Amino acid sequence: MHASVCDQLHDLVQNAIEAGASCVRVMWRDTGRWLEICIADDGCGMTAEMRERVADPFCTDGRKHPGRRVGLGLAFLRQMVLETGGSWNLESEPNMGTTVSFRLDQTHWDVPPAGDVVSAIAGLMAFEGEYDLVLTRATSRGRYEVRRADLREALGELETATSLGMLRDYIASQEEALQKGQNHGRHDT
């Protein structure tokens, strides 16, 4: 079972990258009561049959994990969201990409904790591969945006310990400004 919303987000972005996405857009909005997350990718997309099947925990494409016949990510996420009074939407077309969005009621006692937001965002930037990722964080007090391509230009390889440390410090400063309501508009590295 997943420990935090950050874990769920990690899995959804991993799905997008595994689907061959060259660009993943993540919107992560916290309005106090509601946590709204949307992940849109331009990967391989799903057929109508696959869209129906992803609600089923015994659904995986059979290629990712040879020998394993279950995929747990989307099914558990959907179940958790619906059981806690939230809402969920999946749009996907073959060769067009996939958009998964959900809304969580943070006042519901069964909603998992958000988790370590700074580490989670740094982790989303540090998967292997040539994808770009544009992440927007928003609250009622402001917003900021980070783009993987900009971070790579500034820091080089993001997977090294030094780069990851700098990346975490940068995200932490953006989060701190966001919590203080000092962060408006786009902020680049």
Ligand X SMILES: Nc1ncnc2c1ncn2[C@@H]1O[C@H](COP(=O)(O)OP(=O)(O)OP(=O)(O)O)[C@@H](O)[C@H]1O
- Name the site residues for ligand X (rule: CB under 6 A): 11, 15-16, 19, 41, 43-46, 50, 54, 59-61, 64, 71-75, 98
Dihedral pair phi/psi, residue 67, rounded to 5°: 90, -15
Q: Mask 62-101, x = binds Mg ion (CB under 5 A)?
A: -----------x----------------------------
Q: How far apart are CA 105 and CA 34, in angstroms?
A: 5
Buried b (16+ CB within 10 A) or exposed e, 156-180: eebeeeebbebbbebbeebbebbee
Q: Which is nearer to Mg ion, 15 or 163 (CB)?
A: 15
Please list, in sequence order, all residues whose beta carbon lies within 8 angstroms of the beta carbon of residue 96, skipping any fewer than 6 positions away: 42, 45
Q: Which is nearer to Mg ion, 73 or 97 (CB)?
A: 73
If contact means CB under 5 to 8 A according to the sort of partner, which of ligand X, Mg ion, none does residue 158 touch? none
Give the nearest distance from C-beta 158 to Mg ion in angstroms: 21
Give the nearest distance from C-beta 58 to ligand X in angstroms: 10
Dihedral pair phi/psi, residue 39, rounded to 5°: -120, 115
Q: Which is nearer to Mg ion, 17 or 146 (CB)?
A: 17
Residues between 4 and 43 with contacts to Mg ion, criterion CB under 5 A? 15
Give the nearest distance from C-beta 130 to ligand X in angstroms: 17
Partner residues linked to 138 by β-bridges? 29, 143
Give the nearest distance from C-beta 51 to ligand X in angstroms: 9
Give the nearest distance from C-beta 102 to Mg ion in angstroms: 15
Render 92-142 in DSSP notation, one character per residue.
EETTTEEEEEEEEETTSTTSPP---HHHHHHHHH-SSSS-EEEEEEEETTE
The residues binding Mg ion (CB under 5 A) are: 15, 73
